[in-house]
Structure 1
């Protein structure tokens, strides 16, 4: 993690929808998001004065971000980061009720990791895009593969299908602006723009409805 000294900070302009600040306050929530184009992790919330409160930190190519309880998990170019909140209920730090600090950075190497989740057994699972598989962490290796599409014959760093997302539970995740209406269903395949996004064993995908998907 890199924090830029104030004297070196460049101007950062942020615009938002007119009602975003008031909506954040009404819902009593904040947003966390990453942007690999500018290498930033953002925390965004509303203030009583009607202005946005924005915190940013620099990471090398931050990508997937997953929240679980008081913890956050984030993929980046070479590491998978684990953050945890230090504040107890009722505590504040600089008017904020959450203070996420980096606890662990797992080195995966440059595998072009995208989305990340934590399963019911507390295993960290991430999309290893370069090796076209879902993977987990290992103390001995950069990663351990868990699953790969049946049409991927070898685990090689060639980004053969640009696997970049995963679903958890009873819903399938859609990312990069893809919507249900963009999809084409054929047999057990879910296709988009001429490419196979997923193959569901034993399921006729034409029976799927929009409720089976979630945007992530």
Structure 2
């Protein structure tokens, strides 16, 4: 536990609390145990930004198997809570509900607190209530449509999918160039943009139709496709991720070059708005700000990209963490940085109206004794 913020210099404040829930995989439990206060740092204004904007953050880190919840304590210090989930992948978040893809499940967490209830200082406490076992699908983006359906990027099978009561998944949409649903990660389909409550656009690293074919097209060949028409809007991106429709513009992270920007739907041109010092994945918006997740480039998929040269040009080291960007200026206004055992982020979501989120791990001993009862309203019959 970290009781008070530690000011290390005029620009940086250390996180003031971290709680962890152990997870079955040994490496994940060890990672939580080794996470030290110095491994997480924040900009001085991060807690104030969250408090002023009345929002908290949820961040998935598949490399450590953690779902990080970030809020503000009553004392004003920033608060981190880690939930061990195993391979934490695509994430959908609402104030009352979290939906997370893991190594072989889609888990639905529900907030069990009423408005006047607290667990410690937490005003939301997320408990796993439903786990749909899918097998390993390498799930990336997850969205909830306007009719309540869960749709996810089934990266392993190169399609968008929904959950099925009997089977691992049901294909919902497949690119027209994919000839077969096979567990081959052919094009690395990874991102979903909702528009008017329905999936409208997807990103993928290439249009390959052979096993792991996308790996030979990482520099250029990244696609953004219109779901309704199957039109390829562009295939000149570099490992694109996290398409999002926001205020009339289609935003996307061009991860291979390190840029956040928008797509001109008429020409397909990518218009960069700011540079991100790391392999960026995970994008959320809150009012006039973008919140972006950053990972350290690793050997293999992330090496040898234009991002390497962009970092060299700026004499910059890559980041792992989250940056908050002012959309009007493209400036980074606040940030969270992870060092040590945490090296990769996958997704980031906002929790509007939530001050301090917390929760329980699906594998924790707490789940055996954490029992809640729904209130029952009695109806009085009248003659």
The match for 1:148 is 174
User: Is 1:75–1:113's contact at 8 Å kept on the other side of the alignment?
Assistant: yes
Q: Which has the higher strand share?
A: 2
SS at match of 1:194: coil
Between the two proteins, the alignment pairs up a number of residues equal to 199
Q: Superposition pairs for residues 63-212 of structure 1, below 5 Å?
A: 63-169=89-195, 172=201, 193-200=219-226, 201=229, 205=233, 211-212=249-250
Which residue of 53, 66, 74 corresponds with 1:27?
53
Pair 1:125–1:27, CA change in 2 (3 A): same
SS at match of 1:212: strand
Question: Cα deviations across residues 147-195 of structure 1 (Å, max 9, x unaligned)?
Answer: 111111111011000001111115757799xxxxxxxxxxxxxx98422
Pair 1:126–1:18, CA change in 2 (3 A): same
Unmatched tracts of structure 2, length 5 or more: 1-19, 24-28, 206-216, 235-247, 253-282, 285-383
Unmatched tracts of structure 1, length 5 or more: 177-190
Structure 1 distance, partners of 2:50, 2:95, is 19
* Alpha-carbon distance, 1:46 to partner: 2.1
Larger RCO (CA within 8 A; separation ≥ 6): 2
User: Is 1:173–1:213's contact at 8 Å kept on the other side of the alignment?
Assistant: no
Structure 2 distance, partners of 1:125, 1:132, is 13
* Pair member with larger Rg: 2
User: Is 2:104–2:135's contact at 8 Å kept on the other side of the alignment?
Assistant: yes
Structure 2 distance, partners of 1:202, 1:161, is 15
